[in-house]
Amino acid sequence: MTERLTAMEIENQRFGRRLRGYDPGAVDLFLRSVAEEVERLNREHGEMLEETGQLRRSLAELRSREETLQKTLVTAQHLTEEMKERAVRQSELLLQEARMRADALLKEAQDRLTRMDADISRSKIERDTFERRLRGILEQHLALLDLRREANEFDNLHVLSRSVGSEAG
């Protein structure tokens, strides 16, 4: 006999007969009942083995999914951190670039202001020089006008004195 009894083995089991032995009909009935129970248990056992196999496969699949999800979560966390770091670096670069542009614009504005101040100073010097020259020219013209007036007065006196001298003569 095998370790596990099958319903067929139980049903086909025959015992030798002896005098005063068990009632063969009762033994056959009991063996049939035992065979049916063993058959039911074997079927149940087979179903349970199949269900256990399915559950193990499902468990393995779920564990695989869980592992995949954990890996995905870790990857997502790493990507999130990398994206944050990249965003921080990029914002720092943009800020630095903006500061550099602002500094360049400020320097350019300061340079223009310095040039404008120099131009204003030159213009003031040129204006002062022009005013001095103009004053000088005007003073020369005034002096010439004064001389001309004096010369006219002298000529008028000279003409008067000639006329007074010719009238006296």
For residues 65 and 44, the answer to whether their CB atoms sit within 8 Å is no
pLDDT, residue 7, reads 76
Q: Which residue has the tokens 């063996």?
A: 31
pLDDT, residue 85, reads 95
> What's the distance, CA 149 to chain centroid?
88
pLDDT, residue 150, reads 85
97 inside domain? yes
47 inside domain? yes
2 inside domain? no
Token code pair at residue 37 = 């129970």
Domain that holds residue 161: 7-168
pLDDT, residue 165, reads 64
Cβ count within 10 A of residue 3:
4
pTM over 0.75: no
pLDDT, residue 48, reads 95
The dihedral sign for the CA sequence 45, 51, 54, 56: negative
pLDDT, residue 1, reads 39
Q: What's the domain count of the chain? A: 1
The dihedral sign for the CA sequence 59, 63, 69, 72: negative
156 inside domain? yes
For residues 10 and 34, the answer to whether their CB atoms sit within 8 Å is yes
- Cα–Cα dist 55/21, whole Å: 49
1 inside domain? no
42 inside domain? yes
Distance linking the first and last C-alpha atoms of the chain: 195
Spans of the chain, pLDDT less than 70:
1-3, 158-169
107 inside domain? yes
Total residues belonging to the chain: 169
pLDDT, residue 3, reads 67
pLDDT, residue 164, reads 64
